[in-house]
């Protein structure tokens, strides 16, 4: 895949899955805007890794769950890079994937759901809304939203997180239907448990082993495993795909 001359914005791109996605785009020649919330040091390290991979990158701080900051983020990216060709909505509210410490339904308040909605759907909404005029000006563009395989197979009932990601799938498909005639494609990538990341660090070894045993490919996803499907959906190789969800979990979910 060749992304030379393309500008890619990755939200939550400073570390983990987002950093792996940023590096992969840079490796194919893209100019990558690495959005981060607080960890400027991690974002700077990702920028350096992107340059070592053969592309270029720059970091932009913003809380994408806040509409004004998301708009500022897009304005800064366009001011520095000239355009946006690909948007990867990867940012989400912090979440600890620990099945032994999770809140049960009876322990959750509506505020817990709202926090996850604001991070997943709110962030994607705000950045997409700000970026859309730049896509429409060229009548082309690709948006890839990161969801989770839990939307199809809630192996652990992380109620608030999975419900928000399920809503992000619905958001994506409605966008795909509306924007397809205008040249903009919208798809989702749905990883299983990705290890190691800061979010999965608290997942006990025994539970990770159980998931691996149930997975046909007998291992967990690494951050780099998620990057390839994202690049595929952003590229011309998937030019006749929109509104789809690609599950990246070693075959745990088969559709």
Q: Note the pLDDT of residue 201.
A: 64
Cβ atoms < 10 Å from Cβ of 23 = 26
Q: Is the peptide bond before 196 cis (omega within 30 degrees of 0)?
A: yes
Catalytic residues: 161
* Contact of 32 with 43, CB cutoff 8 Å: no
Residue 224: in which H helix or E strand, if any? helix 223-234
SS3 state of residue 186? strand
| 99-105 contacts, C-beta under 8 A, 24 or more apart | 99/156, 99/203, 99/204, 99/207, 100/204, 100/207, 101/202, 102/156, 102/157, 102/158, 103/159, 103/160, 104/157, 105/157, 105/159
Domains and CATH numbers, the chain: 7-248 (3.40.50.720)
Structure token pair of residue 11: 């939200």
Residue 61: in which H helix or E strand, if any? strand 56-61
Phi, psi of 70 (to 5 degrees): -65, -40
Q: Note the pLDDT of residue 195.
A: 83
Task: Give me the tens of pLDDT residue by residue for the chain, a chain 255 residues long.
Answer: 799 999 999 999 999 999 999 999 999 999 999 999 999 999 999 999 999 999 999 999 999 999 999 999 999 999 999 999 999 999 988 888 888 889 999 999 999 999 999 999 999 999 999 999 999 999 999 999 999 999 999 999 999 999 999 999 999 999 999 999 999 999 999 999 888 776 666 677 888 898 999 999 999 999 999 999 999 999 999 999 999 999 999 999 998
pTM of the model: 0.95
């Amino acid at each position: 895949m060749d992304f030379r001359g393309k500008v890619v914005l990755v939200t939550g791109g400073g570390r983990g899955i987002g950093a792996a996605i940023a590096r992969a785009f840079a490796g194919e020649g893209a100019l990558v805007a690495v959005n981060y919330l607080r960890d400027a040091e991690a974002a700077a390290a990702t920028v350096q890794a992107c340059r070592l991979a053969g592309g270029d990158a720059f970091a932009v701080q913003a809380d994408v769950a806040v509409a004004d900051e998301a708009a500022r983020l897009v304005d800064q990216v366009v001011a520095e890079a000239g355009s946006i060709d690909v948007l990867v909505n990867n940012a989400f509210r912090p979440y600890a994937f620990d099945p032994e410490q999770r809140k049960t339904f009876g322990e959750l308040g509506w505020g817990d759901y709202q926090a996850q909605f604001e991070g997943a759907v709110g962030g994607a909404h705000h950045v997409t809304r700000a970026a859309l005029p730049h896509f429409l000006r060229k009548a082309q563009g690709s948006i890839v939203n990161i969801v989770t395989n839990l939307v199809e197979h809630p192996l652990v009932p992380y109620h608030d997180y999975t419900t928000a990601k399920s809503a992000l799938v619905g958001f994506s498909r409605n966008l795909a239907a509306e924007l397809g005639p205008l040249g903009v494609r919208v798809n989702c990538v749905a990883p299983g448990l990705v290890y190691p990341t800061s979010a999965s660090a608290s997942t006990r070894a025994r539970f990770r082993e159980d998931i691996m045993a149930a997975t046909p490919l007998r291992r967990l996803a690494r951050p780099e495993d998620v990057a390839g499907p994202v690049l595929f959906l952003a590229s011309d190789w998937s030019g006749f795909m929109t509104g789809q969800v690609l599950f990246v979990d070693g075959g745990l979910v088969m559709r």
